[in-house]
Structure 1
Amino acid sequence: MSFLDTETFTTVVANTPLIAIDLIVQNDSGEILLGERLNAPARGFWFTPGGRIYKNESLENAFERITMAELGKLIPIHEAHFHGVFEHLYEDSVFGNHISTHYIVLAYVLTFPHDQIILNDQHNAYRWQSIDTLLIDPTIHTHVKWYFS
């Protein structure tokens, strides 16, 4: 894996799409796990857990790293169902309003017990939401709603 310094990462975000994995996590009741975003883009919105893939990181390793960071448990990619490819465009970025963010997102569905989630530094809080309520709630980001429409 290759980590980028802030200056290089700023250039990357300003000039290229980022590849990410979003986790559409369902509990046994069919509710979806959402986290309230602390960072831009999508700051303040409820969003599915996820993260970007690093250069030279295999898809399998990225999935395991992201599930560990976001859910507190390493889950192999073969335990999830590939949901599709989505494109997320934002007018801002972690670097402010002067740089937009473009993500190509690989969305995966997995089932996870609702009592095993560990809060991380990307989210202020977590909640489980029914799909019907999720689709009409204005605090849930549009990009999340695309996964269910």
Structure 2
Amino acid sequence: MWLDLPTFNTVMASTPLVAIDLVVMKPGGETLLGLRVNRPAYGFWFVPGGRIRKNETLDNAFRRLTREELGRTFERASARLLGVFEHFYDDSVFANAGAGPDTHYVVLAYCLTVTLDDALQPPTEQHHHYRWWSLDELRFSERVHANTRAYF
């Protein structure tokens, strides 16, 4: 269930959001990043991911987020937990409509290795362009958000 915008704005102003980030890698180490079109992290390359919904189990959230963010469903058991991270932003999704609260995420980052057989079809709502990055390239690029670089 998604909250209406006024309620979501109040939640964001009052509490951290809990999310799953998907560090999607090819066996050779290249990582899938998308160029963000929404706030926070607008204009940066970032890993796919999203919020966990109220009463949604981690397994169900992982299935939904991989389907929504990668165009294909994966099981959480096929991924490796990288750790728990905190992301702080001075803006939020509401910044485009004027002043909004800052954003605080508690993120469960999972590494998911995919093969050529895993036909990914990421959507363009959150990221308008995707590309595979080498580890050396993404670790040092200022265009890759610091919260994404922290996973490596």
Normalising by the residue count of structure 1, what TM-score does the alignment of the two structures yield? 0.95
Alignment-mate amino acid for residue 119 of structure 2? Q
Alignment-mate amino acid for residue 116 of structure 1? A
3-state SS in 2 of match to 1:35: strand
- 2:135 maps to 1:136: no
Structure 1 consecutive aligned stretches of length 4 or more whose deviation exceeds 2 Å: 113-117
Unaligned stretches of 5+ in structure 2? none
Aligned length: 147
3-state SS in 2 of match to 1:39: coil
Identity of aligned residues (%): 52
8 A Cα contact 2:9 2:100, kept in partner: no
8 A Cα contact 1:19 1:53, kept in partner: yes
Distance 1:113 1:78 in 2: 16
Tell me the residue number matched to 2:52: 53
Tell me the residue number matched to 2:111: 109
C-alpha root-mean-square deviation of aligned residues, in Å?
A: 1.2
Q: In the TM superposition, what are the counterparts of 1:119-134 in structure 2 within 5 Å?
A: 119-120=122-123, 121-134=125-138
Unaligned stretches of 5+ in structure 1? none
- 2:121 maps to 1:118: yes
- Compare 83-92 and 114-123 and name the one that shifted more: 114-123
**Cα offsets for 1:19-46 (capped at 9, x unmatched):** 0000010012210110001100001100
8 A Cα contact 1:119 1:125, kept in partner: no
